[in-house]
Amino acid sequence: MEKVHALARSVYLPWMAYVEQYAVMEKKHLLRRHKSLVQVHEELSDTVQSLGQSVVRVVAAAAEAHARCEQLTFNTAFCGLLTALKVKAVTGNTLSFFWGGVLLLTRHALM
């Protein structure tokens, strides 16, 4: 058993640095991707349509991040993926986008 453990350690040791940094790298990738998803428009109908489509896009981005984690690290960096997905910068941008849409809807309703 000791020899198997030593063999596994020697095989996977070069990957450990990448697995440990996975959360940071995935966070950067998600933030770049997220900037292209979030858009507030002047027209109310465009904003509502964009809001509806953004939910699907955000869920798809999370699914793609999970697929990358599985493919690159065999899910050994899954905790790092969860950390990257719950970063306030990612979720905060989505929430501020929805809040901007709600404000636009409210302004339009008051007119």
Mean pLDDT (the chain) is 80
CB atoms within 10 A of CB 77: 24
Residue 92 has pLDDT above 70, yes or no: no
User: What's the pLDDT score for residue 13?
Assistant: 85
> pLDDT grade, residue 64 (50/70/90)?
very high
Whether the pTM exceeds 0.85: the reply is no
Residue 52 has pLDDT above 70, yes or no: yes
User: What's the pLDDT score for residue 5?
Assistant: 86
Q: Could you give the CA distance from residue 89 to residue 34 in angstroms, rounded to a whole number?
A: 10
Structure-block tokens of residue 33:
């991707």
Q: Could you give the CA distance from residue 107 to residue 81 in angstroms, rounded to a whole number?
A: 38
